[in-house]
Every structure is written in C-alpha cells, then in structure tokens.
Amino acid sequence: MLKAFRITAILEGISYLLLFGLTMPLKYWADIGQPNKWVGYAHGSLFIVYFLLLTVLVFEKKWGIKRFLIFALASLLPFGTFYADKKNFSK
C-alpha cells in the first residue's frame, strides 16, 4: 500500500506541475484548451486517489494527525509531494 501511495504522490505532483506549468499557459496564452482538459482530468483523479490512499495509510500505519496534515498540505503545493516523499521516506 505504501508503494502505491508513493507512486501516486509522484504522479500527482507531476500532473500538478504539468497542469499549471504547461497546459494552463497553452489554454490562456495560445487558446489551446484540449491538453488542459485531459491533464486536468488526470490530475483530479490522481488527487482523489492520493487522498484515499493517504486516509487508508493513516489508519493502517497509525500515523498521527500531524503526518496526515503534512501530506495533505504537500498535495496543495507545487513540488510538495516530492518534498514530503523525500523527507518522510528517504531514511
């Protein structure tokens, strides 16, 4: 379960960066909206899976509220999921 969470976190972080760094500029500056739609769907799906897996792991691993909040906040910040993964699992 932990490996699935880590992979989802990385993919969610990548989709977040693609959404804001590539497809939104294409949509608003070049009037090309289709990539934003599909990357947005992918990011939204990964975001939901990320929180579902996080919730399962909080109960399964008996993580405290502090760790839950760190991972939750990390999902809202650019590069946050990468930082949280490195800080919490690179021991």
Per-residue tens of pLDDT for the chain, all 91 residues: 889 999 999 999 999 999 999 999 999 999 998 999 999 999 999 999 999 999 999 999 999 999 999 999 999 998 999 988 888 776 5
Three-state SS string across 33-74, please?
Answer: CHHHHHHHHHHHHHHHHHHHHHHHHHHHCCCCHHHHHHHHHH
Residue 62, by phi and psi: left (phi above 0), alpha (psi -120 to 50) or beta? left
| Integer Cα distance of 44 and 60 in angstroms | 24
For 46-64, write each residue's pLDDT tens digit.
999 999 999 999 999 999 9
